Structure 1
Amino acid sequence: MKKLSFFNKIIFVVNSLAAFLLLISYLLPYVPPKSFATLSVLSLGVPLLISLNIIFFIYWLLQVKKQMLLSLVVLLLGWSYLGALYKFSSSKKIEEPGNLSVMSFNVRLFNKYNWKPNKTTREDIVDLFIKESPDIICIQEYTRGTPITLEGYASYNGRYTKDVKGGHTIFTKLPIINSGSLEFEDTDNNAVFVDVVKGKDTIRVYNVHLQSAKINADMTNYINSQYSRDVFIKRVKMAFQKQQSQVEKFLKHKSKNPYKTIVAGDFNNTAYSYSYKKILGDDLVDTFEEAGNGFGKSFDIKFFPLRIDFILADERFKVNGFKTYSDVNLSDHYPIKATLNLNK
């Protein structure tokens, strides 16, 4: 530090703080939000912390300063985190017999309250589904008040289903032999599932929508005032604690499932969170990490490459493709699609 200029000393102090927070964040997947809610909020900022440490490393490297080792060591310790943030390889796209395509999309009630100026959002989303023609479509924030019809698809909860909350539905071209819902307490959120048959295999598909922290796409709302930041943190803490209870209920249900499993949906949390880590478990893989590319940003928020929508697949599937539809501006989320195959 003695040989550093005053400016560089300030830079190194900020660098040290960013490195420390990133190091602490490596513990987040193992810390239940109910035990340490404040720390769990940090999971939303991990993409920023990774980016800052990369910038600091490059800054010191260009000056040939040993301070570059701080961020370098911390980044290397969390090497797997980099894969969850950004995939340097190009998207995998393998066409072969037996492929199964799964799309997930939070449609935000088909723009029911005119958040976007587009007056044909509902029709445009239907056109997207028809054009892409995935075998399975998991929709979050679906309104049964204005249901959609997709020719060639069966659905569960696409229209009124007794004792099941609206908001989430599954459309599929495959025969449905069983279906149901996991009703989460004290919330509008839930999870629905179907058992479908493909060839000789039965596959369980979950469509999960975890508790929302109601994050505004314009992050400046939380930066401009202390009050907004305090409200934001309190809201996120409460949401993540609820998510823990929802995940526990989901895992209890999933543990009794005898079939190969696909879990899709809006987790309202990142790949660095306790909720994600628990759902992923030891038997599922993140299809983005297997076959995606770039940041995989799935939520339209300023300044942040936030990936909170996932398609997780049983490790017995081969992941033949993954796509984020970042050019589809029909919701505050972007659609995602994975291509799977059981012929490993």
Structure 2
Amino acid sequence: MGIFRSIFTVAHVVIVLLLGATMLNAYIPPKVFPFLNLLSLAFPFLMIANLLLCFFWIFSWRKRAFVFLLISTLFLTPVRRWINYSEQKNDNLDFKVLTFNNKYNDYGLEEVKNYIKSFNADVIFLQESGYSGLGNSDFEEMKYSLHNRRISFFSKYQIVEQDTIPLIDKGKSVYADVIIKGKRIRFINVYLEPFQLHKSMVKPTEDLEENGTKAKSLVRRFMPVFKKHEEQVQILKNFIEKSPYPVILAGDFNSVPNSYEYYTISGVLKDCFLESGKGFGTSFHDYKIPIRIDYVFSSENLKSTYYQVDRSRKLSDHYPVLVKFSLKD
């Protein structure tokens, strides 16, 4: 039994070190060492393994259980980026924001349109929408809008300024300044460089050699995209820092929490899920593993009071995210 405990101890130390390595994404960009960003994808599985081993040490009555539990407290905030609990806030509701990658309405234009309308949002961010058939006539209360090749933005309130934020390659972003109850807010819709994956690329088979080939192919595909993301989020960060108005940024980051992309944006804006989210924040369901890649961030002087990932229907490979805001004095 002693040899097994030694093996488990070594394995646990390695897992903790890997968990710690994901936090280095806050400091080390993908162009320097992209494998750290790749490691962020494994964070939920590493954390589950860490907790299982902690329970094992507890039930084995080993003192090392307290050491590993103490170390695990360092990962409380990273865990909250995936699963969180916030107390209900009773602040006044000033406006609602919906962000949704509607996958070009591949699941049915009419169904997607009615689904989006059911949220009665004041501002709508769409990604992978393009010129897919949804316009102002589909959302009667949305009098104002702007569209890009891959993204769309709709607002009940007047847009007083709008433009494209030029990102490299296939990344897309637009901004719109909107006056809500006398306050000018800058809304930024984002769609970062896609990986252009499909299920066959990630689905394991019984052939170990084929799985190895797939894994190598995925790594080759991920690395250049991570480096493009680095440039794209730096452009966004610089744009946000120069904004004279409060900012709400939402969209499909094609990046998980604890990634370089997440750390870069959360350095200048707050993650609304941390402020008002409950339960799981995962928003992409096509691969049946926990992936959170759709976000709503805001400036400090905007308060989110409610955050919901709606899983009631599957009308895209993403679930929509609805966030309610209260304007701070």
Normalised TM-score (structure 1): 0.87
Higher mean C-alpha deviation, range 145-154 or range 270-279: 145-154
Higher mean C-alpha deviation, range 30-39 or range 132-141: 30-39
2:49 aligned with 1:52, yes or no? yes
2:102 aligned with 1:150, yes or no? no
Corresponding residue number in structure 1 for 2:100: 105
Deviations 1:191-212 (A, max 9, x none): 0111000122100000011112
The correspondence for 2:113, drawn from 126, 141, 144, is 126
2:189 aligned with 1:203, yes or no? no
> Number of aligned pairs?
323
Corresponding residue number in structure 2 for 1:114: none
Counterparts of 2:17 and 2:324, CA distance in 1? 38
Contact 2:99 2:322 in 1 (8 A): yes
Contact 1:244 1:275 in 2 (8 A): yes
Corresponding residue number in structure 2 for 1:232: 218
Kindly report which structure 2 residues correspond to 1:59-208, keeping only aligned pairs within 5 A, or say none.
59-89=56-86, 92=88, 94=90, 96=92, 98-111=93-106, 118=107, 121-148=108-135, 149-158=138-147, 165-187=148-170, 189-208=171-190
**What is the letter of the counterpart of residue 223 of structure 2?**
K
The offset of 1:68, in angstroms, is 2.1
Cα RMSD between the aligned structures? Answer: 2.1
Corresponding residue number in structure 2 for 1:322: 307
**What is the letter of the counterpart of residue 299 of structure 1?**
F
SS at 2:118 equivalent: helix
SS at 1:156 equivalent: strand
Counterparts of 1:235 and 1:41, CA distance in 2? 11
For structure 1, list consecutive stretches of 5 or more residues without a partner in the other structure.
Answer: 112-117, 159-164
The offset of 1:216, in angstroms, is 4.0
- Pair 329,145 (structure 1): closer, same or farther in 2 beyond 3 Å: closer
SS at 1:137 equivalent: strand
Contact 1:138 1:170 in 2 (8 A): yes
Contact 1:47 1:304 in 2 (8 A): no
SS at 2:324 equivalent: strand
For structure 2, list consecutive stretches of 5 or more residues without a partner in the other structure.
Answer: none
- Pair 82,12 (structure 1): closer, same or farther in 2 beyond 3 Å: same
Counterparts of 1:318 and 1:132, CA distance in 2? 19
Kindly report which structure 2 residues correspond to 1:22-41, keeping only aligned pairs within 5 A, or say none.
22-41=19-38
The correspondence for 2:195, drawn from 198, 213, 219, is 213
The correspondence for 1:247, drawn from 233, 240, 256, is 233
Counterparts of 1:190 and 1:276, CA distance in 2? 17
Contact 1:107 1:140 in 2 (8 A): yes
Contact 2:144 2:158 in 1 (8 A): no
The offset of 1:19, in angstroms, is 1.5
The offset of 1:30, in angstroms, is 1.5
Counterparts of 1:252 and 1:287, CA distance in 2? 20
Normalised TM-score (structure 2): 0.91
Higher mean C-alpha deviation, range 212-221 or range 293-302: 212-221
